[in-house]
Structure 1
């Protein structure tokens, strides 16, 4: 089925946007974003100083605007999509998540609590695994979601496909329900917040991202996207 992939974040740039050009002349800008992982969109009153960091990439006119008008420390609202990358390095598979920015809104300095919202529709790669508890002492179920979207490349007119893999964790009562009722290939709607943890292995430090789900809806039938106006991937190479 056709997936859905949307991320909305507010936060502060950790670096000036770096503008470059692809071989065909299209501009691309990259920068880092820092935001509160328990933002206003997370529906929680828990106070925390934990901050999430993520790399952002913007294409085309959005890239030009970012490079011309944004700088380190600026506060922005980003509407975009979660991007999954996988490559081989020295015989080992490496993975990384980024945010593809579709639009940017400059919010100035300071501001209210950060907004952190991820909305996905996809299929489970594995049956949810129920573990005893999270670090906060809560029941947890974990699974991996495949969000697959097809689109037409605006430059070549050729059909293309984008696969985004996202790890999802479900807490408390929903964790038990998910482990009992969901299975491999189940189609689900997931709404939650973006989380990360800095880890270390024999190859050095790396960053692991996942979605902490706050709402999950399971579909018994295929869901067809009626709105064909999702241009999330139209600016990507």
Structure 2
């Protein structure tokens, strides 16, 4: 069985590229804290490379950003290639099969502990992550647009 489940924060914005055949591939790295502290009491973190393909790659590139927390489900893969010096390089990465976009980067106001991004969106009247964030305003939709 080869199954990996991770929850971590992106260390930088995702990198979206396309193969010569036009297939989308997105790579990013997540920082995952280990469950226990080391002997010095410090939190240790692993940095795991993630690869997503096709529509999942497009979605990751569109919705993930540095600092955002994500849950990744996939499989471990090891591959190798010859570098410019002719030496064999081995790469271990997780091939994502499912990615859940969790909360955004944590930016807390030191005085109140309130999330500054939420405060900013609330004061502007809309939150780009909330499709129903129009503060109760009616939605302009006709009966012909409804599937029932």
Settle same-fold status: TM greater than 0.5: yes
Candidates 46, 60, 83, aligned match of 1:52: 46
**What CA deviation, in whole Å up to 9, does each residue of 1:184-223 have, x standing for no partner?**
xxxxxxxxxxxxxxxxxxxxxxxxxxxxxxxxxxxxxxxx
**Aligned-partner Cα distance in 2 for 1:17–1:26:** 16
Alignment correspondent of 1:7? 4
Q: Is the 8 Å Cα contact of residues 31 and 45 (structure 2) preserved in structure 1?
A: yes
Alignment correspondent of 2:56? 62
Candidates 70, 73, 81, aligned match of 1:87: 81
**Aligned-partner Cα distance in 2 for 1:22–1:95:** 21
Query: Counting strand residues as a fraction of each chain, which structure ranks higher?
Result: 1
1:109 is displaced (CA, Å) by: 3.5
**Aligned-partner Cα distance in 1 for 2:8–2:33:** 7
Tell whether 2:35 aligns with 1:20.
Answer: no
**What CA deviation, in whole Å up to 9, does each residue of 1:216-235 have, x standing for no partner?**
xxxxxxxxxxxxxxxxxxxx
Tell whether 2:32 aligns with 1:35.
Answer: yes
1:93 is displaced (CA, Å) by: 2.1
1:18 is displaced (CA, Å) by: 1.1
Alignment correspondent of 2:97? 102
1:107 is displaced (CA, Å) by: 1.2
**Aligned-partner Cα distance in 1 for 2:73–2:25:** 16
Query: Counting helix residues as a fraction of each chain, which structure ranks higher?
Result: 2
Q: Is the 8 Å Cα contact of residues 73 and 98 (structure 2) preserved in structure 1?
A: yes
**What CA deviation, in whole Å up to 9, does each residue of 1:141-188 have, x standing for no partner?**
xxxxxxxxxxxxxxxxxxxxxxxxxxxxxxxxxxxxxxxxxxxxxxxx
Matches within 5 A, 1:1-237: 4-38=1-35, 48-89=42-83, 90-109=85-104
Structure 2: where are the runs of 5+ without partners? 107-148
Q: Which secondary structure does the structure 2 equivalent of 1:16 belong to?
A: coil
1:45 is displaced (CA, Å) by: 8.4
RMSD of Structure 2 on Structure 1 (CA): 2.0
